[in-house]
Amino acid sequence: MGKIAFVLSGQGAQYTGMGKELCECSAAAKAVFDAADSIRTQTSAQCFEGTKEELSVTKNTQPCVFAVDLAAARAAQEAGINADYVAGFSLGEIAALAFGGIMSDEEAFKLVCRRAELMNDAAEENKGAMAAVLKLTPEKVEEICSGFEKAWPVNYNSPAQTVVAAQESELEALCAAVKEQKGKAVPLAVSGAFHSPFMESASAGLAEYLSGKSLNAPKIPVFANATAMPYEGDFASLITRQVKSPVLWQKTVENLASLGVDTFIECGPGKTLTGLIKKINPELKAFKLENKEDLDAIREQLLG
């Protein structure tokens, strides 16, 4: 067997009850939720019992998904499944920083709470929207976006899926332009134009928040969304750039595969990343891990 990468889920996959089974079956997962609750008391309750509407508010979504991501990764580790590399999609990257040892769990959780507040504020200041564009190449999506005043490709997810962010007033016309080019545009239920220049104030706020904080050398390589490469150099700069820069997910998966990774375990709610990995390279093995059944199945497959 080749190498293993843990990939941590992003915003949008949240649902009521996420993480509850892991918390009940894994002491390592429970420790993550206990630490989160010691900083933000409602985290476990929102994950396990929160309404769809409550979990869709960015200030709630990010801390909650962070907790489930990290709990799933720690449950896998506790079960004897070890990662050679770790990467997270968008907010999943903050949980990856904790798992990789660049930050303590507590510091990473405080960071994700501040990140959520800053991104929420930036979204309220700059009314933006997002859509997933299917059936078109990234180059074609870039070409379409260039025809609008404020529209950008922001998630390079797979050869045939690129997410765009735009000024709210331009999204309808952008989706129509995609349809004209024989593509399909699906508006996303998000509260802002994330990973775009509309997040400039959030990036500046993160830079201020991280100023003077110490970041550690990683225990295992952590891949950055902004570069699709392992964290190196100025770690704080990579964290602050991430919120206003495109997520280079396809390139991240390709780079990991080139290093010998043939098995990806998606830690956290949903199976979005598992699906994208299969579209990027069908030969790669990809598993989702969000409950006890998943954990038992992965352990049996990989450890026998």
Q: Which of the residues are catalytic?
A: 90, 195
Q: Which two tokens stand for residue 282?
A: 């069908």
- Residue 41 has φ and ψ, to the nearest 5°, of -60, -25
- Residue 270 has φ and ψ, to the nearest 5°, of 80, -175
Residue 290: CB atoms within 10 A of its CB come to 25
Q: Which two tokens stand for residue 162?
A: 């690129």
Strand partners for 130: 165
Q: Is 301 helix (H, G, I), strand (E, B) or coil?
A: helix
Q: What is the dihedral of CA 201, 251, 272, 180, to 10 degrees?
A: 80
Strand partners for 247: 155
Q: What is the dihedral of CA 291, 296, 300, 302, to 10 degrees?
A: 40
Q: Is 272 helix (H, G, I), strand (E, B) or coil?
A: helix
User: How many Cα neighbours within 13 Å face the side chain of 110?
Assistant: 9
Distance, in Å, from the CA atom of 226 to the CA atom of 220, rounded to the nearest integer, reads 18
Report residue 33 CA to chain centroid gap: 18
Q: Which residues have C-beta within 8 Å of that of residue 267, sequence separation ≥ 6?
A: 6, 7, 8, 9, 69, 70, 72, 73, 76, 289, 290
Q: Which residues have C-beta within 8 Å of that of residue 182, sequence separation ≥ 6?
A: 135, 136
Helices vs. strands in the chain: H and E counts, helices first: 14, 9
